[in-house]
Each structure stands twice: as C-alpha cells, then as structure tokens.
Amino acid sequence: MRDENIPDEDARPQRVARPGVDYRALFAVTPSPYMVLGPDLVIADVNEAACRVTGRCREDLLGRYLFDAFPDNPADPDAEGVRKLHASLHRVLRSKERDTMAPMKYDIPSAEQPGVFEERWWSAINTPVLGPDGQVAWIIHRGEDVTAFVLSHPRPRDGGALSDVEAMEVELYARARELQRLNEELRQAHARERQVAVTLQEAMLHSPHLARHQDTAVRYLPAAGSLNVCGDWYEVVDLPENRFAVAVGDVVGHGLEAAAVMGMLRSALSASVRAVEGPARALDCLGLYARYVEGALATTVVQAVIDTHARRIMYSSAGHPPPVLLHQDGTCDLLDQATDPPLGTRPKHLPRPQADLPYTPGDTFVLYTDGLIERRGEDIDAGLQRLTDALARYARHTPEHLADALLAHLGVSSGARDDIALIVLRL
C-alpha cells in the first residue's frame, strides 16, 4: 500500500522555468540612488532614484564627467565634497576594494534655480566592478541623502532635550565624523611615509653607468598599497673590451630589512661581475657571500653580460624568471637555458650554469622581476605568454615607450601586488 503521508508524484510542486532576469529593469527601479561610473569617472548610467534625489534627468547626466555634473558650491569656501569623493573613487581604483565614506556635506546645483546650490549631506559607498582582466571596469556609486537627519540634529526639537535615541544618533554621527577626520590624517601620514620609502628605494637603485646607455629604459614600481620599500633591484655596469653587464634581482620579503639586504647583494654582485670572468662565476661569488647575509636566503637574480663586439649575450640565473630577447620581427627568445636554484638554497656550493646566444643590432633585451608577470592562482607560463605577446605587439616602440606600453598592457602601470623592477635595452 502507498503511504498516505507521501504525496503523489503528480501532487508535488514542479520546478517552473523562469525567464532570464532583466537586470537593467531591476537597476532602474532599485530604491537606493545609484550611479555607474567608468574608470575615467564619466557617468555611464543612473537609476530613477539617483535622478529623483539629485533633481536631474538621465539625459543631463549620462556621458558627463562626474565633477562637471556635480561641482563644488562656489559660494562655499569650505566646500570639500569634490575632494573627498574624488579621493574615495581613486582609492577604489587603486585598491579594487569597496570604500565606505563617512557622511559629508556636498551641495548640489538646484534643478529649479540655475546658479543656486542646495545644501545636501550624503552617506556614500563606492563599489568596484572588476572586468575579465581583473581591473576595475566600473564603479557603482551609491549616495544616500541624509540631509534631513543631519539638519535636524543635534538641535533639540521645540527647545526641549534630546531623547535617548536622538542623543545616541548624534553621538554615532559625531563619532563617524571624528573617525573620518582620523582616517584622513592616517591616509595623509601613510602617503608621506610611503613617499619617503619610495624616495629611499630610488636612491638605493642609482646606477652611475646607466646614463651612458641612451637606448635603455628602467622602471621601478613599488607594490600597490604597500607602505614599505622592498627588495627588487636593477643594475647596469660597464666592463672592459666592449662589454657591459645588466642584472635584476628580488630579495624575499618587504620593509627596510629587505631593502638593506638588497643594497648589500646589489653592491656585491656589481663588484663580482667586475672582478671575475662571466655571469655564472659572478653569481657563484654572490651565492657564497649571501650565505653570510641574514635575510638573503632564496633571493633570485639573473646576471647577463653583453659583448657588443661579438654580438652575444652570456647569462646565468639563480631561480629568476627568464629574460626575453625580442627580435625586430616580434619573435621572442626566453633565456631559460642556464637556470639554477635561488641563492642560499643548496646545502653545498656548486658552480652555476652559463649559456649564451647571439643577437642582431636592433633587438631588444628585457629583464624584469616576478611582479611583472605573476598573478595569484595562475601558472607562470600564462604570465610569460602574456609578456611575450605584449612585447611582440609593441616591438617597434622605443625602449622608453615600450616600457610604458608593457606596464600598461599587463595592467600594472599603477603597481601590482609585488614590486616590479624592469630593464628594457635596445641592442
């Protein structure tokens, strides 16, 4: 017999196929005011609530630069709305993370009286939308109008005392304003300290011989959002007999300790490549030295010596991503035939390998650190393919333009999660 507690198959609810969700229609009627901004801060879309709260129509806002559509009140010498919102939006672009703003005064032009601004207070949240390449494709700006709340507090109604709830609201609002002030001071202090750190790093990377190589471009980009200097470096050293050496290296870790180790290893390698014959022996000397330098363990470095008379490149690598020789027709050679483990990772010292290959005048030699190509959760081969594709695309550029185009194409012009050191030289 059939259990009467079990419904018939025909009586069970059936799953019904629903049509696709019309997200444009949902966006249009969402009750909170939303604007969609491009990375250039041009208004790409607004919903009905945003038009209603600002007193503007879509046609008046679409395609306009945000701060042209909503400038500061010229009659208010203390107006800070543009500055604060601009800073928040650029934090989103840099960090790729949501930024919640404290309530702020940001007057807007009156829809009924041209040239007149209405006092408005806003509570805003700016949220990034990332594209397939991991970069910010859009910013969703939600701006809630809290003018009524702000203007009604903390003044007692009808001269009476504030209720407990009103007093708590005022206290929370005051704390939010104080938190905003402290956050702003912290950001300014962070920016000052970061600038000092970057200036120190650039001073440590000074390469006296670099000025003699007019067809060479170098770049150093500190990690995006990082306060500390780090351990990436580059170096160019002139040698006798129509030769010169180029190197890039990467010390594990961040902060002044890593920078100090970087300075010691960079100086030791510069001395070694002058004192011994060939890049492999120079790395042998550096590896022996690194054993006695705390913090030098697992440093990666590649050293190359370029013989301009024989038109050959000799190189040796200690666990570093392979340099690239870019030919004028856009083809690339990866210099990956003389790679050994990073410094200090072998229990016994063994001579390092060395390889060489010819080049043709007009070829371009590119050395870099892993921040240029590595992405979290991605195989390094994908990063190398992306690099060689970009080099082929911009093969005809001058070294300076090629360096900039390369950083832009790989999405790291404003920095990556790790430091980036880059050398681009036309042979």
Per-residue model confidence as pLDDT tens digits over 24-45 = 888 888 888 899 999 999 999 9
Strands 364-368 and 99-100: unpaired
CB atoms within 10 A of CB 404: 17
1, pLDDT greater than 70: no
Task: Return the pLDDT at 158.
Answer: 46
197, pLDDT greater than 70: no
Backbone angles phi, psi at 383, to 5 degrees: -65, -40
Sign of CA dihedral 35, 122, 40, 187: negative
**Lookup result for tokens 């009604």:** 152
List the single range of 152-161, 287-296, 342-351 with lowest mean pLDDT.
152-161
Higher pLDDT, 156 or 308: 308
What percent of the chain lies above the pLDDT cut of 70? 83
Task: Return the pLDDT at 157.
Answer: 45
86, pLDDT greater than 50: yes
393, pLDDT greater than 90: yes
CA pair distance 247, 314, nearest whole angstrom: 12
Confidence of residue 274 (pLDDT cuts 50, 70, 90): very high
Residue 127, token pair as written in the block: 């949220």
Confidence of residue 202 (pLDDT cuts 50, 70, 90): low
Torsion of CA 315, 320, 326, 332, to 10 degrees: 110
Which one of 83-87, 149-153, 345-349 scores highest in mean pLDDT?
Answer: 83-87
205, pLDDT greater than 50: yes
Task: Return the pLDDT at 353.
Answer: 94
Task: Return the pLDDT at 159.
Answer: 43
Identify the three-state secondary structure at position 88: helix
Task: Return the pLDDT at 161.
Answer: 47
Confidence of residue 169 (pLDDT cuts 50, 70, 90): low
Task: Return the pLDDT at 165.
Answer: 60
Which residues have C-beta within 8 Å of that of residue 342, sequence separation ≥ 6? 297, 298, 299, 300, 318, 319, 320
Confidence of residue 354 (pLDDT cuts 50, 70, 90): very high
What is the overall mean pLDDT for the chain? 84
Identify the three-state secondary structure at position 91: helix
Question: Mean per-residue pLDDT for 177-203?
Answer: 69
Higher pLDDT, 3 or 198: 198
Task: Return the pLDDT at 162.
Answer: 44
**Lookup result for tokens 């002044």:** 256
Taking a C-beta distance cutoff of 8 angstroms, is the pair 427, 365 a contact?
yes
177, pLDDT greater than 70: no
**Lookup result for tokens 């009476």:** 160
301-343: per-residue pLDDT in tens? 999 999 999 999 999 999 999 999 999 999 999 999 999 999 9
Task: Return the pLDDT at 102.
Answer: 76
